[in-house]
Amino acid sequence: MKTKKLLSMLLAGTMMVGVLAGCGNGDADKKQDGNDGEETKIYNIGILQQLEHPALDEATKGFQDGAIAKFGEGNVTFDIQNGQNEQANCATIANSFVSSKVDLILANATTALQSSAAATNTIPILGTSITDYATALDIKDWNGATGVNISGTSDLAPINEQEAMLKELFPDAKKVGIVYCSAEANSKYQADIFKLALDQDNIAYAEFTAADSNEIQSVVTAAIAECDVLYIPTDNTMAGSTEIINNICEPAKVPIIAGEENICRGCGVATLSISYYDIGYKAGEMAYDVLVNGADISTMNIEYAPKVTKKYNAKLCQSLGITIPEGYEAIADAE
């Protein structure tokens, strides 16, 4: 009897330890609040970045900083994945986020957004570094919000002001070459707006499109043979090949107006620049509004960069003998 009683007491003690241990662990997605003992949810966010690129890297960093500032340190985790600019990779990553039931997906750049949209219509998706959401998502009646489980921030700088910059710097330009990747719908969207602005100023132009990075050298070579100034919009394919572009255009003394700063840093003379960190940061704040404040993502208007800055590539301008007027800021570390 004494033996049985002793065993019963030991078993009861073991069970109590197990119960206490279970209470201490809690849910994997929750943590103990040190102030009042209440559990705080830890939000899991999947970040799908289309490719490694300085502008996109800045947007991802801005998103993380913005989210942490709002959620609080330790209350949000990030699973950062890179699609290496391959649609199949982006689709696989997006589907893995859905399978792991993340609370929200950040889609950084257009292919990442399209892959995420195809993967889920229930998990909220925030885009960043997207030029035009209506074009990317094939929305016909655009009113500023998507109407589905998607919102985010845009990297679109005022196209008309970019055209005005070209006219300011090169008032004697006879023909402008508009160079972009035909596989990127957002690039065509920018090119079409730029053409309208050139039409209004009676400036001749021609389009030169590359299907992928393999065609860039031949396309740019054709463009400089026909045009005295080039315009390259915000374009991921072109952004990844600025060295190739510069090696063609600089010796030929053909300047480039770029749609964004990182393209300008590699091969352009001037740009109307936004901060990718800023639009990423805003998307991080929007994530908090969706997940904590309960904002309806389908009615959240797309947000734009709070400011734009005229910038120039000092080294390339010197090489080409171009004098930049006052009001422009030199790009740091321009090649």
39-155+275-299 has which CATH code? Answer: 3.40.50.2300
The model's confidence at residue 306, banded by pLDDT at 50, 70 and 90, is confident
Q: What pLDDT score does 334 carry? A: 75
Listed range (27-41, 77-91, 93-107) with the worst mean pLDDT: 27-41
Residue 15 pLDDT > 50, yes or no? no
Read off the pLDDT of each residue in 290-317 and give the average, rounded to a whole number.
Answer: 96
Q: What pLDDT score does 332 carry? A: 86
Model pTM score: 0.75
Q: What pLDDT score does 7 carry? A: 39
Which string of DSSP letters, residue by residue, matches 12-52? HHHHHHHHHHHHHH--TTEEE-TTT--EEEPEEEEEEESS-
**Chain segment 179-200, per-residue pLDDT in tens:** 999 998 889 999 999 999 999 9
Domain boundary assignment for the chain: 39-155+275-299, 159-273+309-330
* pLDDT greater at residue 135 or residue 31: 135
Q: What pLDDT score does 37 carry? A: 55
* pLDDT greater at residue 314 or residue 184: 314
Cα distance between residue 136 and residue 142, in whole Å: 12
- Tell me, yes or no, if the two domains 39-155+275-299 and 159-273+309-330 fold the same way: yes
Q: What pLDDT score does 53 carry? A: 87
**pLDDT > 70 fraction of the chain, expressed in percent and rounded:** 88
Q: Where are the alpha helices (DSSP H) in 208-326?
A: 216-226, 236-239, 242-252, 261-267, 276-291, 314-320
* pLDDT greater at residue 7 or residue 54: 54
The model's confidence at residue 1, banded by pLDDT at 50, 70 and 90, is very low
What percent helix, strand, coil does the chain show, rounded to 5? 45, 20, 30
Q: Are 259 and 326 in contact (CB under 8 A)?
A: no
Read off the pLDDT of each residue in 205-216 and give the average, rounded to a whole number.
Answer: 97
User: Going by CATH, does the domain composed of 159-273+309-330 fall within 3.40.50.970?
Assistant: no
Indicate the burial class of 252 (C-beta count within 10 angstroms; 0-12, 13-18, 19 or more).
middle
Q: What pLDDT score does 49 carry? A: 98
Q: What pLDDT score does 186 carry? A: 87
The model's confidence at residue 33, banded by pLDDT at 50, 70 and 90, is low
Q: What is the CA radius of gyration of the chain?
A: 25
